[in-house]
Amino acid sequence: MSPTTSTVPAQLMDGTALARRVGEETAARAAELTRRTGAAPCLATVLVGEDPASVTYVRMKRNRCAKAGIVSRHVALPAATTTEELVATLGALSEDPTVHGILLQHPVGEHIDERAAFEAIAPHKDVDGVTLSSFAAMSFGRPGFVSCTPGGIMRLLDAYDVDLAGKRAVVVGRSAILGKPVGMLLLARDATVTYCHSRTADLSAHLREADVVVAAVGRPELIRGEDIKPGAVVIDAGYNPGNVGDVDFDGALSRARLITPVPGGVGPMTIAVLLEQTVAAAERQLEARAAR
Ligand code: NAP
């Protein structure tokens, strides 16, 4: 065995099993809330157009809602929907007391101002963690909802007892829903965070120093096994055609201490966090109403 590889192969971080456990807890909380208040948690799903991948994602989320005892109310809008119409729909759902969480499936069409649409979601119903208010609250450690994939990644790290304080974390990718927020969550846990992106010079040099790598790029196997520091924790959020992640899994396996598989790592945790946050939103709204 080369001195640059770990002596034992990495342990897999099983997102499917963890998501199942989180899902069971969420279902129990939803049932208890329904019993106590007479109202089931409700997630509104909003889809603009009929992009096949988006249709599939929304269907998966609604199926998981049904299994957890969460009502989902689907709003299907035509592809030609304008920003103003979408903002009005999201504003109405934000005002509707029977809706506790709102998910706008994205990306929306290019003719729509996605940021304006996200901002029409009331922060207390932003269970997908997409508003500026949610990002700020998360970054400042204030109450609010986190972006679901980053939230799922943190749950995975915690489930495998990864101590982040003082560790060097390298996040590859800086999107608003994934790279940026996961970096903020790692920072809040006292990791020393470096963001890498398409303009980063010498990505390999950054990766070789990383105790924790989060890959959030969308480029198959961009991150080579030989760039993984022996003993590192590798989180692969990438999901590319053919069930391929952003990390060269076979190459990283012999060097990492812990690694997420693709599929079955980060992916299942995203929906688990969405459902958990929907129930938390419903608890807050229904209990506040009962207290009045
Ligand atoms: P995105 O918005 O396209 O962002 C990709 C990021 O990667 C950008 O910040 C980009 O840098 C960076 N990048 C591109 N090429 C690079 C390179 N050669 N070297 C270093 N950085 C590079 O993507 P996203 O929405 O964050 O998604 C990323 C991946 O995660 C995709 O595979 C997606 O399918 C997956 N994903 C999975 C889940 C889940 O539930 N598992 C959820 C969301 C996303 P610039 O900013 O400089 O352009």
Write out the binding residues.
173-175
Residue-wise pLDDT tens digits, 217-230: 999 999 999 999 99
Instruction: Please report which confidence band the pLDDT of residue 290 belongs to, taking 50, 70 and 90 as the band edges.
Output: confident
Residue 106's pLDDT band (cuts 50, 70, 90): very high
Is the peptide bond between 107 and the residue preceding it cis, with omega within 30 degrees of 0?
Answer: yes
Domain residue limits at 184: 148-267
Predicted pLDDT at 2: 46
Helix (H) or strand (E) holding 212: strand 212-215
pTM: 0.96
With beta carbons less than 8 A apart as the criterion, state whether 180 and 174 touch.
Answer: yes
Tokens 């109450």 belong to residue: 143
Three-state DSSP state, 283: helix
Catalytic site residue from 126, 128, 227, 236 = 128
CA of 197 to the centre of ligand 1 (A): 9
Reduce the DSSP state of residue 139 to 3 states and report it: helix
CATH value at residue 247: 3.40.50.720
Reply yes or no on whether 128 is catalytic: yes
**Does residue 6 form part of some domain?**
no
In what helix (H) or strand (E) does residue 21 lie, and over which residues does it extend? helix 15-37
Q: Domain for residue 51, yes or no? A: yes
Q: How many domains does the chain have?
A: 2
Asked whether 258 and 10 are in contact (CB, 8 A), the reply is yes
Ligand 1: which residues within 6 Å by Cβ?
149, 172-175, 177-179, 196-200, 203, 216-219, 222, 237-240, 266-267, 270
Kindly state whether residue 75 falls inside one of the protein's structural domains. yes
Question: With 50 as the cut, is the pLDDT of residue 3 above it?
Answer: no
**Active-site residue, selected from the candidate residues 105, 126, 167, 227:** 105
The answer to whether the CB of 147 falls within 8 A of the CB of 178 is yes
> Is residue 250 scored above 80 in pLDDT?
yes
Specify the amino acid at residue 7.
T
